[in-house]
Amino acid sequence: AVGSWQLVTTLKGHEGWMRSAFFSPNSKMIVTASEDRTVRLWDAATGDELYQFVGHQDIAVFATFSPDGQQIASAGFDGTVRLWDVSSHRPVRTFTSQSHFNNSLAFSPDGAILASGTGDADGVNQVEFWQIDTGEVAHEPLLHSGPVRSVAFTPDGKSLLTAGHGNPVQLWDLERNKPLRIFTEHEKSVWAANFSTDGQFFITASEDRTARIWVTTIETQIALANALLQRDPPIFRPEERSHLISQLIGDGN
């Protein structure tokens, strides 16, 4: 039960809102992105800060690990997506977006492609794709009617789940560049969406204060939970994990 959980550690150091937090694939490290423009690497067991990645010229909104855990990708409101080496802490590559606002990132399962959900006041609402090894554009953008707040690849890498402000949740066929399915039950914008490990289900978190579990192959939800979601809803990862990063709070922790 949730009531029996105990606080393991607190990550202290950011000087602004923490906008995202993710475990490394081996669960030994955590990467965070913050409004203080830094991306930070932490020891998951002790909560000690291991390194600060500095380079974004505006808010760092999102940061996540590559599938092999060797690289970190970060997105910011400075029109860039940046790639960092975890071991050497050096910058690897900077991708320049068509949008000033990069809201979310996802690596393809093989780690070869990086997808970025973009858009806000500039109206460049789309998903952009880059080749990790060359920095070249990997796929034509997926156009949306509003800002894209969440992107996630299916485990086979052939489809992409997107969600965001003013958009329904959509599952895209990347070969045809068209939505396979559209999920519309949420009453307000969806801020986070992610797949189960096997890809059979996905979960969404919305401004309507609900979290919903869906069957990927049909436009049907199988569970609904009311959640007291505040400014930034938690990022759900429906996997068999003993640790969970929950609400992102505003005191830099």
Domain boundaries, the chain: 16-226
CATH number of the 16-226 domain = 2.130.10.10
What pLDDT shows up at residue 131?
98
Angle (nearest 5°) at CA 123 between 188 and 113? 85
Q: Assign 247 a pLDDT band (cuts: 50, 70, 90).
A: very low
Q: Assign 240 a pLDDT band (cuts: 50, 70, 90).
A: very low
What pLDDT shows up at residue 209?
83
61-77: per-residue pLDDT in tens? Answer: 999 999 999 999 999 99
Distance CA 203, CA 190 (A): 10
Pairing of strands 148-153, 159-164: antiparallel
pLDDT exceeds 80 at position 114: yes
Q: Assign 106 a pLDDT band (cuts: 50, 70, 90).
A: very high
pTM of the model as a whole: 0.86
Mean pLDDT for 97-116 is 97
Mean pLDDT for 88-108 is 97
Mean pLDDT for 202-213 is 85
pLDDT exceeds 80 at position 83: yes
Distance CA 137, CA 49 (A): 33
Mean pLDDT for 18-45 is 96
What pLDDT shows up at residue 206?
86
Percent residues over pLDDT 70 in the chain: 85
Mean pLDDT for 168-197 is 88
Residue 216 in tokens: 């990927």
What pLDDT shows up at residue 197?
84
115-169: per-residue pLDDT in tens? Answer: 999 998 778 999 999 999 999 999 999 999 899 999 999 999 999 999 988 878 8
pLDDT exceeds 90 at position 6: no
- DSSP tag of 189: -
**Averaged confidence pLDDT in the chain:** 86
Distance CA 39, CA 51 (A): 8
Whether residue 164 contacts residue 103, with contact meaning beta carbons closer than 8 Å, is answered with yes
Residue 190 in tokens: 């969806």
CA distances from 147 to 67, 100, 121, 209 (A): 26, 12, 9, 19
